Amino acid sequence: MKHVLTRAWLHLPATLAFALLALQMSIPWTAPYFVTQDGPSHLYGATIARDLVLHHRDSIYSPWYTIQRAILPNVTATFLLAISEWIAGPEHAEQALASVAILAGFLAFCYASRALSPRFSPWTPVANFLVQTWFLWLGFYNFYLGMALMAFAIGFYFRHAGGLGLRRAAALAAALVVLFFTHIIPAAIAVVTVVTTAFWINVAVPVATAERTGRRFLPPWPRLRELGISLASVAPALILIGLYLSSGAPTHINPQIAWAWNEFPMHVFQTGAGRSGAQTLLSSFFLFYIAAGILLMRKREWASVRGGLAVATLLTFLAYLLAPDAGFGGSLVKIRFSWAVFLLGGLLACSVMGLRPMRVATAVWVACFLTGNAVNSMAIAKRVSNAAADYLSIANQMPPKSTFVRLRYPTPHAAEQYGYEGIGRDPLAHLDGVAAAQRRLVDLSDYEPLSKIFPVVFKKAIDPGWQSGLWAMEGPDSGSVESLAWLNRSLPAPIDFVLVIGDQDSPEAVRAGMPKMIEYLDSNRRRVAISPERIFRLYR
């Protein structure tokens, strides 16, 4: 009996991990509408891409959009959402991708953990915690998937470090190239981790050993050969990163180190409301857990790939402090590096022998708080779904193949009205993309084709001035009435509908000129529908 209880106790982390995984993967399906902030735009972009590829001549999107032919990250999510839409339909495409992304992140972490500690079970609720992040709920699918692929790539390198060989180096190179086409930041972190670890085990450790023993200072030839193969494996991804950065606008370097230090780790794990939704206790615990892992490493662990991983973790934290918050073709850069610190540090801490006695206790601790977070996230998902239902009841009154623009004014009271305040994101921001994808509408104001950092872009025939006016509808101002009138006259086809989002009587919306816009639309277009809370309006 004692033996049975001992085995059950040792297998408890794995049991908890898989139970939590099932719970996490079910969250997107617990509400009628799974709503993320930017996900609807990515769904709309995937809809356009799929339609242009399969039905180019007959596509309603071909007069407006094309697929750009350039070296470009942010491709993978478009491809996967197109497949997901084909299988599950536009109504459930995001739900399916979100569940698959959670599963991929969990398996990737456990694979990398097994690569570091082959003799121990990799299944732990630590993996569940590290994949339950703000980025998924923000709809940053490329970045989220990129972090999962990063764990797979570095796990593969850890598993074969010291005996990489040409075939495995080619496989690693291919994985890093795929990672680049998913997202540039995880690709850069993976390259730094591989290079740091390669130098650590093939140069730093042999040199340190030689100094202690009084032998030759240079590493032996096999070590230098292994280093060369490792560097060759990262070269294709490094070249792609360099080409992409050199082709974009120069980044203004303003690291804001003091602010970044005080804000760390930011709201990386915010998936719901309150302390439970922000997972503040767990994130604080893991900072100490990672620090303890580094401090408790033994000499032989420092002499292995774990030493290289510890250095890479510290370098990632340094990148968090020094990187500008806007750059690399996007924004919110620092918080992305913050998640990477937790991911790399979590892998390290789970593999350190000095923390092994805490493994089961840590699993129970994490599982308790993570269950509360999952329940919180489900409740918020249902409340956000209620807001989406009201939004789409208005937007879905546009007939298929219509052309429309969305004017997004401030909605300071919407979160309180629907009960999702304090979640760190705006679920109404790009919800028009869901309506556009479901009803095959042309959403001219969607930000993804206008940003030029995703596969789908406007055709060159669509004048840059028009595109600038459409981009401004992300945050209209007092001059938006004239801009809308000009666009309606100038665009190759008229704007059939105008969808207006905003709290008309709020001071923020008044300052942005919403009353003036409503007056103009009431005078020049026919109002089709308005929501009971008067937040959503549709004009024909």
- Give residue-wise pLDDT tens across range 13-29: 989 999 999 999 999 99
Looking at this protein, which amino acid is placed at residue 424?
G
Helix (H) or strand (E) holding 97: helix 93-116
Q: What is the pLDDT of residue 56?
A: 73
pTM for this prediction: 0.94
Domain ranges of the chain: 2-377, 380-539
Q: What is the pLDDT of residue 55?
A: 80
Q: What is the pLDDT of residue 251?
A: 63
Segment 521-537, tens digit of pLDDT:
999 999 999 998 889 99
In angstroms, the Cα distances linking 338 to 38, 253, 443 are: 20, 18, 34
Q: Write out the two tokens for 339.
A: 């998640």
Handedness of CA 222, 223, 229, 232 (dihedral sign): negative
> One digit per residue, pLDDT tens: the chain, 540 residues?
556 666 666 779 989 999 999 999 999 999 999 999 999 999 999 999 999 998 877 889 999 999 998 888 999 999 999 999 999 999 999 999 999 999 999 999 999 999 999 988 899 999 999 999 999 999 999 999 999 999 999 999 999 988 888 999 999 999 999 999 999 999 999 999 999 999 998 888 777 776 666 665 566 777 788 889 999 999 999 999 999 988 766 666 777 899 989 999 999 999 988 888 889 999 999 999 999 999 999 999 998 999 999 999 999 999 999 988 887 667 889 999 999 999 999 999 999 999 988 888 999 999 999 999 999 999 999 999 999 999 999 999 999 999 999 999 999 999 899 999 989 899 999 999 999 999 999 999 999 999 999 999 999 999 999 999 999 998 898 889 999 999 999 999 889 999 999 998 899 999 999 999 999 999 999 999 999 888 999 999
Helix (H) or strand (E) holding 65: strand 65-67
CB-based burial, 100-135: b 16+ in 10 Å, e otherwise: ebbbbbbbbbbbbbbbbbeeeebbbbbbbbbbbbbb
Asked if residue 269 lies in contact with residue 278, where contact means CB atoms within 8 angstroms, the answer is yes
Asked if residue 409 lies in contact with residue 502, where contact means CB atoms within 8 angstroms, the answer is yes
Asked if residue 352 lies in contact with residue 248, where contact means CB atoms within 8 angstroms, the answer is no
How many residues can be counted in the chain? Answer: 540
CA distance 309 to 312: 5
Q: What is the pLDDT of residue 377?
A: 93
Segment 28-40, tens digit of pLDDT:
999 999 999 999 9
